[in-house]
Structure 1
Amino acid sequence: MKVKTLAGVATMAGALLITGMPAQAQTIDGPSVSWNLSTWGTKRAFTAGMEYVAAQVSEKTGGKFNIKLHYGEALSKARENFDGIKIGAFQAAMYCNFYHPGKNPASMVLTMPFLPLGDLEVSMHVREAVMAHPAYVKDMDNWNAMTYMSSLLPQYEFMGRGNPPQKLEDWKGLRVRAGGGLGTAMQKLGATLTTVPAPEVYTGVERGTMDAASFPYTYSHASYKLPEVSDWFTSNMSPGTTECGTVFNKDAYAKLPDQYKKLLMDLKAPAYQVQIKAYHDIDEKNLPAFRAKLKEVVYTDAQLDEFRKIAAKPVWDEWVAENKDKFDAQGLLDLVLAEAKKAAKK
């Protein structure tokens, strides 16, 4: 992530948190509407964007439109949120694509290792472009869902227990939590995969059923208290990320009055800035705490170059070959690379 860019974002988002969205002079009038949003875990950086949206829709409508976030899988298991959206059990839900790759195959392009998504502003532009791609939209249609916004997950890093993997060869035989293309990349290093949902990782590492877990750096490691049961963490592996975000039930959205629909769409830009600031702020807090307690594993440029040769384009090519008859996989990958290049120049 670019420090200069994030510093500017932090200033912008801080102002947004104080003043709210550049606001209408009057309260937005409309009917009373209550939505429920299903998610897992607790309130954290990951949920900051949607927490901001929920607060703003209530404020801007004088309490007539409310979105309640239900944490801790209170409404649905994380792997079943799409199912709940499809039947209208709730109006909104958060999801992570690698929990159920068969439900959202096109979105798995964003799990490919070593995509140029380290800068969160670039990542935002790329993800928005991918979410508008016909293959992605078709996947969402299968679940009566429309994508609202991404959670802009930062690059993943690993945290684990036991001897730290200081060389690439040390990953051989380790049982690791990693999904999607990142999981494929780790398999090429000889690791054994598991894709348990985030709330189950702490117990797995504590009991020794897994050796390490990949999470978005650094917020998610701390959110799930992984440092409590770990001995080491990687800080510059940056092997990739994934796609998690928020979807709406299409029928629920269609029933909203136009002024509420417009409000939701107007809130996306400031919500993204709030999301970026939340990740920036938590990194500043977590990294010193990690370094004080755990062994930091830093790979050399030569080691990282070797990892990319093994697990970047070869994994991309395998993914395209596996999906070329299902949707325009090569076109989707090309879109990611083109949009990242374009956004980086802005």
Structure 2
Amino acid sequence: MNKFALGAVASTLTFAFAIEAAATEWNVSVWGKRRAFTEHVEKLAELVSEKTNGEFTMNISYGGLSKNRENLDGISIGAFEMAQFCAGYHRDKNRVVTVLELPFLGVENLAQEVAVSKAVYAHPAAAEEMEQWNAKLLMTSPMPQYNLVGTGDPRATLADFEGMRVRATGGIGNAFKAVGGVPTSVTATEAYQAMESGVVDTVAFAQHAHLSFGTINQADWWTANLNPGTVNCPVVANIDAYEDLSDAHREALDSSIDEALDHYLANYGELLKKWDSVLEEKGVAKVEIDEAVLAEFRATAADPIRDAWIKDMEAQGLPGQELYDLVVKTLADAKSGS
């Protein structure tokens, strides 16, 4: 083989090794099964792969890498590069974002939920707290207001909530506790069994989760307008993995986040359109709570829980009042279109 041929072979091998070295593969830990709640993660993986011609890929694992309560711990030790978790699973580890789980904030739709989440995630206190877990906040998993499914007679008054065993986490759990309920924070994947075995009487979920985890199949009724709040479930990346990305791969990831969220919102919107037909198909009664009951619920739960949260955060050296005010202002701006 002449020196020109040898040179060509060497160049080809060098190019091949460069391509191989440039490839990035991330493992992503979520749970359950693919559903509306994970569509932005799926879309993000799709967009990143497209933008990098397959050089940056994400392997999304539904429960194969970690338990859902342990995803943040897995991120902190670099067991995987990206994960989804819910603040209510470990409130002590992600105190800042729990402002988004306060009951009766007044969020009316998913776009507003995205707006307030983005504002809080961008606050220095949120980034600083997540750095303790080697985690970078990428995007939220916006969910509608939670509502209850239950068995037996509908719970339509505050007196009905007295002693009610409810699967509810975070601020929603605190809201039910304030009116005499007994919240339990079993994970989403445990909710069906808890309902089936009678450990809980009711389950508070967003619509997709009632479908995905089967609680709707146990239900006799669903509260259409209780709307006590929702949970906040960030998607995070391991900071070291994020910083190790090439400039091109990091740009592909960063530029895909809003696209992935837009896809999520459109997909969830289709699910919400079909919700009434799902209830009818499964024989689940729609319960409309009287406005006077809702007002009483808000008065009993919202103000005291908010004030206690702010006081607790400030005592821990976190800007509780500032974070709450940020949510209120961002929500007002979102509602006014400014």
Q: Which sits farther off after the overlay, 146-155 or 288-297?
A: 288-297
What is aligned with 1:175?
165
Q: How does 1:217-296 map to 2 (within 5 A)?
A: 218-292=207-281, 293-296=283-286
Given that residues 164 and 201 in structure 2 are in contact (C-alpha distance below 8 angstroms), is that contact kept between their aligned partners in structure 1?
Answer: yes
Q: Out of 115, 122, 135, which is 2:125 matched to? A: 135
Shift of 1:121: 1.5
Shift of 1:265: 1.2
Shift of 1:160: 1.5
Give unpaired runs (5+ residues) of structure 2: 1-18
Q: CA RMSD in A?
A: 1.5
Q: How many residues in Structure 1 have an aligned counterpart in Structure 2? A: 317
SS in 1 for 2:85: strand
The alignment status of 1:185 with 2:175, answered yes or no, reads yes
Q: Which amino acid aligns with 1:303?
A: V
Cα distance in 1, alignment partners of residues 288 and 233 from structure 2: 27
Q: Which sits farther off after the overlay, 89-98 or 182-191?
A: 182-191
What is aligned with 2:29?
38
Deviations 1:200-223 (A, max 9, x none): 00000001011111111x111111
Cα distance in 1, alignment partners of residues 152 and 31 from structure 2: 28
What is aligned with 2:8?
none
Deviations 1:91-112 (A, max 9, x none): 0000000001011011111110
The alignment status of 1:317 with 2:301, answered yes or no, reads no
Given that residues 131 and 137 in structure 1 are in contact (C-alpha distance below 8 angstroms), is that contact kept between their aligned partners in structure 2?
Answer: yes
What is aligned with 2:87?
97
Give unpaired runs (5+ residues) of structure 1: 1-27
Which structure has the larger Rg?
2
What is aligned with 2:324?
333
Given that residues 30 and 257 in structure 1 are in contact (C-alpha distance below 8 angstroms), is that contact kept between their aligned partners in structure 2?
Answer: no
What is aligned with 1:151?
141
Q: Which amino acid aligns with 2:256?
A: L
What is aligned with 2:294?
304
Cα distance in 2, alignment partners of residues 144 and 107 from structure 1: 16
What is aligned with 1:21?
none
Cα distance in 2, alignment partners of residues 294 and 284 from structure 1: 16
| TM norm structure 1 | 0.89
Cα distance in 2, alignment partners of residues 229 and 64 from structure 1: 45
Deviations 1:137-159 (A, max 9, x none): 12211100001000111111111
Deviations 1:172-195 (A, max 9, x none): 111001111111110111100100
What is aligned with 2:6?
none
What is aligned with 2:50?
59
Given that residues 219 and 286 in structure 1 are in contact (C-alpha distance below 8 angstroms), is that contact kept between their aligned partners in structure 2?
Answer: no
Shift of 1:323: 1.7
Cα distance in 1, alignment partners of residues 65 and 217 from structure 2: 28
Q: Which sits farther off after the overlay, 313-322 or 82-91?
A: 313-322
Q: Which amino acid aligns with 1:124?
A: V
Given that residues 30 and 64 in structure 1 are in contact (C-alpha distance below 8 angstroms), is that contact kept between their aligned partners in structure 2?
Answer: no
Given that residues 30 and 61 in structure 1 are in contact (C-alpha distance below 8 angstroms), is that contact kept between their aligned partners in structure 2?
Answer: no
Q: How does 1:79-98 map to 2 (within 5 A)?
A: 79-98=69-88
